[in-house]
Amino acid sequence: MIFNIVHTTAYEYSAPAIESFTELRVRPRQSNRQNVYSHVTEVEPRAALEEFTDYYGNTVECLSVPFRHRCLTVTSRSTVETLPHKDALSGLDLTVSEAVRLNWPHRRELFDFLMPSMHAPITPELETLSKQQLPSSGSFSESMLGLCTFIFKNFTYMPGVTDVRTPLTELLQRRAGVCQDFAHLMIALIRCAGLPARYVSGYIETESSGTPNLVGATASHAWVEVYLPNGLWVGIDPTNNILEGERHVQIGIGRDYHDVSPLRGVFKGAERQYLSVGVTVSRTTGEMVSGVNKG
C-alpha cells in the first residue's frame, strides 16, 4: 500500500517568541517493512534544517528560529509504501520461560528494552498483572496475543482523559486512555516477564473502503514491538487488537514515548504557547513514485 502523509504542527505564542529551537521525529523509517519514496519538511517562518540519526536509528531534524516570531508552523510531507510481511509470531512453539532463556545471550544489545523506562516502569502491581497475563509456562505466542486482547477488551479508547504525563497507575484505575497509554502498559507488562519490548510511533490508516475501521490518534499512533527468540521484532497494536500490518506506517522506535515524541523544543520570550496538530493519511494508487511504476 502507498500512502501520502501530511503532518502539520502549529505553535502560536501568547507574545512574540524571541527565539525557539525544535527537534522533530516525523520522518518515516526506511526498513524492510516500508519504503520511503519522498519526504520534505516545510517550516514557516523559514529556517534551516539539520539532520542526524539518533541512538535508536531514528531520523531527527532540528531547526532554530533565532529571531522574533509569533507563530511556528512545521509541515512534514511523506510518500511511503508499506510492504506485506508474514506473521512471525504465531508459528513459534515455545513457552514464555523458554523465550526468556533463549534471549539471555543477547541481553546486552537488548538491555534498553528489558529495563524499566520513564513511561513504562516496573512496579509490584504491574508484576502481579504480568504473571497473570504472561505465565512462565504459557505459550509465548498465545500469551502475547492474549495480552493484546486483554488490553483491548478491558481498557476503553477515550481521548482527553490522559496525557503523556499520566502514569500507568492512573491508567489502571481509569481503565481508559489512548494508544500511547496502551502501548506503555503492554511494554511494561512484557518487560516484567523478562522479555524485550519497545515503543513504536507512527501513523495508521483508520478508514478505508472495504476494510474494517481502525482506531488511532489524529496526531500519531503508537504500538509495541516484542523481540522474538528468532531475532525478529514483531509489531502488536493493542489499541486495535491486531498485529502490525500494511496500514501501519512506522516513524520511530524507542524505550517509550519520551524517546520518539514527534516534536519537542524550547522557546524564549513568551509566557505560553498554543499547539494544534493535524495529520492526514491517504492511500494513493501511486502510478509513478520516484520514477517507478507502482500502479
The domain ranges of the chain are: 2-82+261-286, 96-259
Contact call for residues 157 and 178 (beta carbons, < 8 A):
yes
Domain spanning 2-82+261-286 has what CATH number?
2.60.40.2250
Domain spanning 96-259 has what CATH number?
3.10.620.30
Q: Residue 248 above 70 pLDDT?
A: yes
Q: Which residue has the higher pLDDT, 224 or 265?
A: 224
Q: Confidence band (pLDDT; 50, 70, 90) for 128? A: very high
- Per-residue pLDDT averaged across 240-251, rounded? 96
pLDDT of residue 217: 62
- Per-residue pLDDT averaged across 208-234, rounded? 87
Q: Residue 176 above 70 pLDDT?
A: yes
From 8-12, 270-274, 279-283, the region with the lowest mean pLDDT: 270-274
Q: Confidence band (pLDDT; 50, 70, 90) for 293? A: very low
Cβ-defined contacts of 122-131 (< 8 Å, 24+): 122/188, 122/191, 122/192, 123/168, 123/169, 125/169, 125/172, 126/168, 126/188, 126/189, 126/192, 127/192, 129/172, 129/189, 129/192, 130/188, 130/189, 130/190, 130/192, 130/193, 131/192, 131/193
For residue range 81-107, list pLDDT tens digits in order: 999 988 889 889 999 999 999 999 999
